Structure 1
Amino acid sequence: MRHLLAVAAGLAVLAASACSAPAPPRSAAPSATPTGPAILPAPTGAHPVGTTALYLKDTSRRDPWNLDAEARELKVTLWYPTEQRDGQQAPYMTPKESELTLKGGRIGGVPDDTLSKTRTNAVKDAEPTGRDLPLVVLSPGFTKPMNTLTSLAEDLASRGYVVAGIDHTYESHATTLADGRVAECLACDSDADPGFGTGLVAGRAADVSFVLDQLPSKWDGADRIDRSRIAMVGQSIGGAATMATMVKDPRVRAGIDMDGTTYARIPKSGFPRPFMFIGSPPHVPGGGDNSWERDWKLLTGWKRWIVLAGADHQSFTDVPLLAGALGIKPAYGLLPAARGAELTRTYVAAFLDRHLKSKRQPLLDKPSPRYPEVTFCPATCGRS
């Protein structure tokens, strides 16, 4: 079932399933007075955070969207623990990326570079620290650049993870490539095609496997990564791509789908690696998207399915945190932006700590009075 995403005046025109249909035309004018630059919440871990960007080219594949490109180019943003607290603050995005993101989301009435002024918590090109660090791959939703998962990435890095966020080129409104070209969303014209979701997640799975192949030789800090401890987390189509990647690549030990309809088919014999669904109310059993119910029956290892009351498709991203800077009154349901970020960070980290660091996490065993918004499915929500 394809149901349109409720967003703040069109910042993201994705669907609550993993793919999107264009939102109907609407006014581009903000509905409130902008509050100044957005400030991402501070990371909760013990480490300062560094970040750097890698630009990779897969010459074994033609780009699936740009028929003039003979190779698949990718931008990978890394976040990691560092000891360096001072230095240049990493930009959230460039002014041109901000302009194209606002244009793609039909946001007007604010300067084109508004999103580039968002304050992050990472030091650009800081020296990494630590040894045997687990690796987490992040994959964003369709049309959204990797930047929109920055708050989660920074938090995980502060907790001792290396995070590799992949911009899947031509699948978002703006991705700056190695030579300074800004790739726009060529895939956006194809999202209604039959089999689009299945093909998209297969391509993203190939992107992830290529990044895992290349990372050891392309990043000077790669020797700090424990390559036996890799997980993947994605939002929307990125969550669907997490499942698709794990089916194909055994290096990814554990995965999380944040509010994304799944497309890759799990073998009928079952899938034993740890997996967690975390979503908004439409993803309760019987809520309209049956892909989670279908896959739940085939997950034969450790698994959880949790739903956040009041959440919306964007609650697992930075999008609600940006609303004030854009002068928008959020249309995200009942979950405040800061609380949505807290819940996402908390439950994602608990899952990763359990499965990549072997730390006991009672939070994942039953409901907690600290987080009454969280319901464990399928037993206690909807029909099982």
Structure 2
Amino acid sequence: MTHAQKTAHATTTVISAKPVILPAPARGEDLQVRVSAPATGSDLPVIVLSHGFGWSMNGYAPLADYWAAHGFAVLQPTHLDSRTLGIPAEDPRTPRIWRFRIEDLTRVLDGLDVLEAAVPGLGGRLDRSRIAVAGHSWGAQTASTLLGARVLDSDGVPGEDLSDPRIKAGVLLALTGLGDDLTPFAAENLPFMKPSFDTMTTPALIVAGDGDDSALSTRGPDWFTDPYTHSPGSKSLLTLFGAEHSLGGIPGYEVAETTDESPARVALIQQLTSAFLRSALHPEDTAWQKAAVALEEDPNPLGKLQSK
């Protein structure tokens, strides 16, 4: 266990700064980022968290606060689709927002010096060799490209490789599946939702709800297991029983779009994602192995795990 992990168990005090501004002239809006970290501890691994459609750096407190309290520095950019920015649908950037989102994540990684300096007391405490990416829904699609997923063009040819070697692990929550199963509306209006997971080689935990029946797919909830099924090894799949798209409420507490509110389910996600990332970024750490055993032995489990 590292010094940062020992410290995380001793305190839950989190420090946070927002907005930290990263200049982005070609984007049309400078990038706003929230930075959260434990108040003490060194060698903090980093998680870049990509929000779902319409959200912002202010969302996902159940994840960001928990991860920060357990020894991670959490960086949350506000993407151009955020309701806080109010960009209209007819904005000329709209068709490329999916690419701007990916560029937002790489800009965060490129701007670690600025982000670290913006939080009093954070300087010199980040472990830049241990960086993970996480995302929910559209954020998971964004994050998956940095892990090696590719977007297929209209002829089924994989597009540009946007993977980032700085990323060592990922957590993909409610990540949509293959483009073969899109509804006509999604196929016409969301052309970037045609992924190939064949080259998504970076270790990742994929979280899917078996009650997540998307209006974007002609299939049922098993669509969300495609990223696990169709990607190479070093992957784990957590299937949550009864969970819908918000997976119990990870975007926030008591938010309107959560249709399956479950504090217990959110707590399980908090514990398992933290354990997975700790072990993925620190191979000597046994947290993930212990968490997997605990879930398997639970007489009333909230989900099941598979690994390959």
**Smaller-chain TM-score range?**
0.7 to 0.9
- Cα distance in 2 for partners of 1:353, 1:310 equals 27
Instruction: Tell me how large the CA RMSD over aligned residues is.
Output: 2.9
* Aligned counterpart in structure 1 of residue 17 of structure 2, from 42, 52, 64: 52
* Structure 2: gaps spanning 5 or more residues: 1-7, 149-161, 178-192, 214-218
Tell me: CA distance 1:368–1:79, structure 2 relative to 1, closer, same or farther (3 Å).
farther
- Residue number in structure 1 paired with 2:159: none
Q: Counterparts of 1:327-338 in structure 2 under 5 Å?
A: 332-333=259-260, 336-338=261-263
* Aligned counterpart in structure 1 of residue 53 of structure 2, from 142, 147, 158: 142
- Cα distance in 1 for partners of 2:223, 2:49 equals 24
The structural deviation recorded for 1:257 is 1.1
- Residue number in structure 1 paired with 2:82: 172
- Residue number in structure 1 paired with 2:125: 224
Letter in 2 for 1:312: E
* Aligned counterpart in structure 2 of residue 186 of structure 1, from 74, 83, 88: 88
Instruction: Please say if residues 175 and 224 of structure 2, whose CA atoms lie closer than 8 Å, have aligned partners that are also in contact.
Output: no
- Cα distance in 1 for partners of 2:243, 2:22 equals 35
* Structure 1: gaps spanning 5 or more residues: 1-43, 64-68, 83-128, 175-182, 380-384
- Cα distance in 1 for partners of 2:306, 2:115 equals 41
Flag the structure with larger Rg.
Answer: 1
The structural deviation recorded for 1:373 is 1.2
Instruction: Please say if residues 136 and 163 of structure 1, whose CA atoms lie closer than 8 Å, have aligned partners that are also in contact.
Output: yes
User: Secondary structure of 2:31's partner?
Assistant: strand
- Residue number in structure 1 paired with 2:142: 241
Instruction: Please say if residues 61 and 251 of structure 2, whose CA atoms lie closer than 8 Å, have aligned partners that are also in contact.
Output: no
- As a proportion of its length, which structure holds more helix? 2
Q: Counterparts of 1:250-329 in structure 2 under 5 Å?
A: 250-261=165-176, 263=193, 265-266=195-196, 268=198, 270-282=199-211, 287-288=220-221, 290=223, 292-293=225-226, 295-315=227-247, 317-318=249-250, 321-322=253-254
Bigger drift between 362-371 and 273-282 goes to: 362-371
Instruction: Please say if residues 234 and 307 of structure 2, whose CA atoms lie closer than 8 Å, have aligned partners that are also in contact.
Output: no
User: Secondary structure of 1:148's partner?
Assistant: coil
TM-score (norm. length: structure 1): 0.59
- Equivalent pairs counted in the alignment come to 255
The structural deviation recorded for 1:318 is 4.6
- Cα distance in 1 for partners of 2:250, 2:58 equals 8
Letter in 2 for 1:260: L
Instruction: Please say if residues 280 and 310 of structure 1, whose CA atoms lie closer than 8 Å, have aligned partners that are also in contact.
Output: yes
The structural deviation recorded for 1:289 is 5.8
- Cα distance in 2 for partners of 1:308, 1:245 equals 25
- Cα distance in 2 for partners of 1:322, 1:243 equals 27
Tell me: CA distance 1:313–1:267, structure 2 relative to 1, closer, same or farther (3 Å).
closer
The structural deviation recorded for 1:314 is 1.7
- Cα distance in 1 for partners of 2:243, 2:225 equals 17
User: Secondary structure of 1:219's partner?
Assistant: helix
Instruction: Please say if residues 38 and 68 of structure 2, whose CA atoms lie closer than 8 Å, have aligned partners that are also in contact.
Output: yes
- Cα distance in 1 for partners of 2:69, 2:50 equals 19
Percent same amino acid at aligned positions? 25
Q: Once superposed, which parts of structure 1, at least 4 consecutive aligned residues long, lie more than 6 Å away? A: none
Letter in 1 for 2:111: Q
Instruction: Please say if residues 211 and 242 of structure 2, whose CA atoms lie closer than 8 Å, have aligned partners that are also in contact.
Output: no
Asked if 1:76 is matched to 2:41, the reply is no
In the TM superposition, what whole-angstrom CA distance separates every residue of 1:261-318 from its partner, at most 9, and x where no partner exists?
Answer: 15474474x333101110211469x63564642x434432311111111222123545
Letter in 2 for 1:74: L
- Cα distance in 2 for partners of 1:376, 1:251 equals 27
- Residue number in structure 2 paired with 1:348: 273
TM-score (norm. length: structure 2): 0.72
User: Secondary structure of 1:147's partner?
Assistant: coil
The structural deviation recorded for 1:369 is 0.3
User: Secondary structure of 2:253's partner?
Assistant: helix
Bigger relative contact order (CA 8 A; separation at least 6): 1
In the TM superposition, what whole-angstrom CA distance separates every residue of 1:93-146 from its partner, at most 9, and x where no partner exists?
Answer: xxxxxxxxxxxxxxxxxxxxxxxxxxxxxxxxxxxx322110001111101223
The structural deviation recorded for 1:203 is 2.1
Letter in 1 for 2:241: A
Instruction: Please say if residues 81 and 158 of structure 1, whose CA atoms lie closer than 8 Å, have aligned partners that are also in contact.
Output: yes
- Cα distance in 1 for partners of 2:109, 2:41 equals 20
